[in-house]
Amino acid sequence: MFLTGCKTPQVNYFSDLENGQLCNVAQVNALIHLRPEDQISIVVKSKDPLLSELFNLPIIANRIGYGQTTNYYSSGSSAYTVDCNGEIDFPVVGKVKVEGLSREEVAAHIKYILVTRNLVQDPVVTVEYANLGFSVLGEVGRPGRYSFDRDRLTLLDALSMAGDLSIQGKRENVTVIREQGVQRMTYRINMLYADSIYSSPAFYLQQNDIVYVEPNSYRARQTTVNGNNVRSTAFWFSLASLLMTLSVLIFK
Q: Are residues 124 and 171 in the same domain?
A: no
What domain count does the chain have?
3
pLDDT at 18: 72
pTM: 0.74
Q: Are residues 91 and 113 in the same domain?
A: yes
- Where a domain ends, among 129, 159, 187? 129
Q: Are residues 78 and 117 in the same domain?
A: yes
For the cut 80, the answer to whether the pLDDT of residue 50 exceeds it is: yes
Q: What is the pLDDT of residues 68-116, one digit of tens each?
A: 444 443 444 578 999 999 999 999 999 999 999 999 999 999 999 999 9
Contact 108, 98 (CB under 8 A): no
For the cut 60, the answer to whether the pLDDT of residue 129 exceeds it is: yes
- Residue 95 counted as domain residue: yes
- Residue 23 counted as domain residue: no
Give CA–CA dist 134/120, Å, rounded.
Answer: 36
Q: Are residues 137 and 211 in the same domain?
A: yes
Q: How many CA atoms lie within 13 A of 141 on its CB side?
A: 8
- Where a domain ends, among 71, 98, 129? 129
pLDDT at 4: 47
Q: What is the pLDDT of residues 30-49, one digit of tens each?
A: 899 999 999 999 999 999 88
- Residue 88 counted as domain residue: yes
Q: Are residues 160 and 215 in the same domain?
A: yes
- Residue 30 counted as domain residue: no
Q: Is 174 helix (H, G, I), strand (E, B) or coil?
A: strand
* Domain extent at residue 238: 222-251
Helices (H), the chain: 49-52, 103-116, 155-161, 194-198, 217-221, 233-251
- Residue 27 counted as domain residue: no
State the CATH number of the domain containing residue 165. 3.10.560.10
Q: Are residues 192 and 162 in the same domain?
A: yes
Average confidence (pLDDT) over 159-182 = 92
- Residue 14 counted as domain residue: no
Which position has the higher pLDDT, 39 or 16? Answer: 39
Q: What is the pLDDT of residues 171-223, one digit of tens each?
A: 999 999 999 888 899 999 999 998 899 999 999 999 999 999 999 876 666 66
